[in-house]
C-alpha cells in the first residue's frame, strides 16, 4: 500500500466535499438539527397530566383529596365538571388524559373509617402514558389514604401511625429521572450511524454514475487505497459531527459527562470507522446513487433507531429480534455512550462493547475491500 496514492485519493475526496457546499452544509447541520429537534421534542417524561375533576361529594374530605392532585407537579387540573358527558367529549378530543371522580358519600365513608372509593378515567389510546399516569394517580391516593389512617390513629389516642415498611429509594446515575439524560446520548449514536453510512454509501456509486471510476481504475490505485482514501475525508467530517453533538448535549441539554473524554473519543472513532466501512460496502454493491441511498437507509437508520436500545428496550423485544440486535453496532455504542455520560464507566467495564465495535469495524472493512477488488477485477 502506497501512502502517496492513498493521500492523493483522500485529497480528491476533500476537494469534492469542499466543492459541494450544499452536501457539506447538510453533513454538518443535519446532526445538529436532528439533535436539537429530537432532544427537545422526543421526551418520555410524563408530567403536567391534563386532568378534570368531577366532585360528586363536595365535602371537606373530597376537597382535601382533590388538593392532593392540585399540589402534585404530575397533574394539571384543567377544570371541574358536573357530569360524565364533558369528560367523554374531551377525552375523545384528546384535551385531557385523566378524570378524577369523587363519588357521593366519600366524606362520610372517610369519617366512619370505611373504605372510600375514587374513580379514575384514563385515555388508554397511548398505553404507555396511561400506565404511567395511572401509577401517579395510585401513588397520590395511597399517600392520602396513609395520611387519613395516621390522623385517625392520633384521634383515637394511639399515637402517630408508623408504616410497617419505610422504603428508602435511591436512584443512581439519573436521580431526577430526566428522559433527556439517556435520549441525548442515544441520539448521538443514531445520528453518527445515519450520517456516516449515508455519506459514504453514495461515494463509489457516484463514481460509477459520473464515469470517473474508469479513470480511477486506469491509475495504479489499489482497492484498499481507494477505500481508505475515501474514508479519511468522511472520517474527519464524522468526527466533526460527533464533537458538535457532544458539545450540544453537554452545554445545551446539560447532560452530565462523567466519564473519560478520551475513551469517548476512542470508542467514537471505532464506531465511526465501522459505520463508514458499512457505507462503502453498500456503495460497492450498488452502482446507482438511488439504490445506494435506499440501502444506506435500510442498513443504518432502521437498525440504529429501532434495534439499538435507544428508545425501545431490547429486553422487551421478542427473542428472535433480541438475537438480531447483537449484530447491530449501534446497540453497543449506545451502551458505551450511556455508560460514559451517566455512569462514568471506562474501558474496564465497557471492554466487551468496545471489543465488538473493533471486530465489527475490521470485519466490515475486510468485506468492503474484498467486494471492491471483485468490482475492479
Complete DSSP assignment for 87-107: HHHHHHTTS-SEEEEE-TTHH
Shared domain check, 38 and 79: no
C-alpha cell at 68: 392532593
Shared-domain flag, residues 298 and 361: yes
* pLDDT tens digits, one per residue of 171-191: 777 777 777 787 888 888 888
pLDDT value for 354: 92
Residue 112: C-alpha distances to residues 105, 109, 115, 296 (Å): 11, 5, 9, 68
pLDDT > 90? residue 356: yes
Cα dihedral 74, 78, 82, 88 sign: negative
Cell readout for 196 is: 456516516
Task: Tell me the three cell numbers of residue 374.
Answer: 471483485
Give percent of the chain above pLDDT 90. 11
One domain for residues 208 and 91:
no
Q: What whole-number distance in Å separates Cα of residue 50 and Cα of residue 92?
A: 13
Question: In the listed set 121, 155, 189, which residue is the last one of a domain according to the structure?
Answer: 155
Tell me: pLDDT of 355 over 90: yes
CA angle 143, 45, 117 (to 5 degrees): 30
Task: Based on the fold, state whether residues 59 and 193 are members of the same structural domain.
Answer: no
Q: Is residue 170 part of a domain?
A: no
pLDDT tens track for 91-132: 888 889 999 999 888 888 887 777 788 889 998 887 778 888
Q: Which domain holds residue 225?
A: 3-43+178-376
Q: Are residues 211 and 74 in the same domain?
A: no
Backbone angles phi, psi at 77, to 5 degrees: -75, 110
Among the candidates 155, 186, 216, a domain finishes at 155
pLDDT over threshold 90, residue 249: no
User: Domain total for the chain?
Assistant: 2
Q: Which of 57-61, 220-224, 282-286 has the highest mean pLDDT?
A: 57-61
Q: Are residues 236 and 257 in the same domain?
A: yes
Tell me whether residue 163 is in a domain.
no
| CATH code: domain of residue 118 | 3.40.1710.10
Q: Strand 98-102's sheet: what is its strand order?
A: 75-80, 49-55, 98-102, 119-122
Burial of 116 (0-12, 13-18, 19+ CB in 10 A): buried
Residue 169: inside a domain, yes or no?
A: no
Residues 6 or more apart in contact with residue 308 via CB below 8 angstroms = 186, 189, 190, 325, 328, 330, 331, 333, 334
In a domain, 161, yes or no: no
Q: Which of 260-264, 292-296, 363-367 has the highest mean pLDDT?
A: 260-264
Are residues 324 and 183 located together in one domain of the fold?
yes
Do 120 and 200 fall into the same domain? no
pLDDT grade, residue 214 (50/70/90)? Answer: low
Question: SS3 of 54, please?
Answer: strand
62-66, 136-140, 153-157, 170-174, range with the lowest pLDDT? 153-157
Nearest to 233 by CA among 199, 279, 274: 199
The answer to whether the predicted template modeling score (pTM) of the entire model surpasses 0.95 is no
Range ranked top by mean pLDDT from 15-19, 44-48, 183-187, 268-272: 268-272
131, 12: one domain = no
Let me know whether 230 and 150 are in one domain.
Answer: no
Residue 345 lies in a domain: yes
The single-letter DSSP state of residue 85 is H
Amino acid at each position: 500500500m502506497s501512502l502517496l496514492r492513498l493521500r492523493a485519493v483522500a485529497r480528491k475526496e476533500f476537494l469534492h466535499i469542499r466543492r459541494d457546499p450544499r452536501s457539506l452544509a447538510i453533513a454538518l447541520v443535519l446532526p445538529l438539527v436532528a439533535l436539537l429537534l429530537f432532544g427537545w421534542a422526543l421526551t418520555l417524561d410524563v408530567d403536567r397530566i391534563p386532568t378534570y375533576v368531577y366532585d360528586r361529594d363536595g365535602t371537606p374530605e373530597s376537597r382535601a383529596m382533590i388538593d392532593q392532585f392540585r399540589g402534585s407537579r404530575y397533574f394539571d387540573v384543567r377544570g371541574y365538571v358536573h357530569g360524565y358527558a364533558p369528560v367523554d367529549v374531551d377525552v375523545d378530543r384528546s384535551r385531557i388524559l385523566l378524570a378524577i371522580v369523587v363519588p357521593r358519600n366519600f366524606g362520610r365513608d372517610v369519617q366512619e373509617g370505611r373504605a372510600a372509593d375514587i374513580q379514575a378515567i384514563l385515555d388508554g389510546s397511548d398505553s404507555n402514558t396511561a400506565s404511567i399516569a395511572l401509577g401517579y394517580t395510585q401513588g397520590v391516593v395511597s399517600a392520602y389514604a396513609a395520611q387519613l389512617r395516621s390522623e385517625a390513629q392520633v384521634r383515637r389516642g394511639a399515637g402517630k401511625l408508623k408504616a410497617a415498611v419505610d422504603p428508602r429509594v435511591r436512584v443512581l446515575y439519573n436521580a431526577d429521572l430526566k428522559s433527556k439524560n439517556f435520549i441525548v446520548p442515544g441520539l448521538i449514536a443514531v445520528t453518527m450511524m445515519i450520517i456516516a453510512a449515508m455519506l459514504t454509501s453514495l461515494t463509489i456509486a457516484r463514481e460509477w454514475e459520473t464515469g470517473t471510476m474508469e479513470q480511477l481504475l486506469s491509475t495504479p490505485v489499489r482497492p484498499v487505497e481507494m477505500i481508505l482514501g475515501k474514508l479519511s475525508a468522511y472520517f474527519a467530517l464524522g468526527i466533526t459531527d460527533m464533537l458538535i453533538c457532544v458539545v450540544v448535549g453537554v452545554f445545551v441539554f446539560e447532560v452530565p459527562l462523567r466519564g473519560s473524554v478520551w475513551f469517548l473519543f476512542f470508542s467514537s472513532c471505532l464506531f465511526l470507522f465501522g459505520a463508514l466501512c458499512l457505507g462503502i460496502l453498500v456503495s460497492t454493491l450498488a452502482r446507482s446513487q438511488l439504490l445506494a441511498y435506499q440501502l444506506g437507509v435500510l442498513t443504518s437508520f432502521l437498525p440504529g433507531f429501532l434495534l439499538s436500545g435507544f428508545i425501545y428496550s431490547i429486553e422487551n423485544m421478542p427473542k428472535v429480534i433480541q438475537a438480531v440486535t447483537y449484530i447491530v453496532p449501534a446497540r453497543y455504542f449506545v451502551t458505551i455512550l450511556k455508560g460514559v455520560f451517566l455512569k462514568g464507566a471506562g474501558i474496564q467495564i465497557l471492554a466487551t462493547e468496545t471489543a465488538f465495535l473493533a471486530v465489527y469495524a475490521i470485519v466490515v472493512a475486510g468485506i468492503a475491500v474484498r467486494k471492491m477488488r471483485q468490482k475492479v477485477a
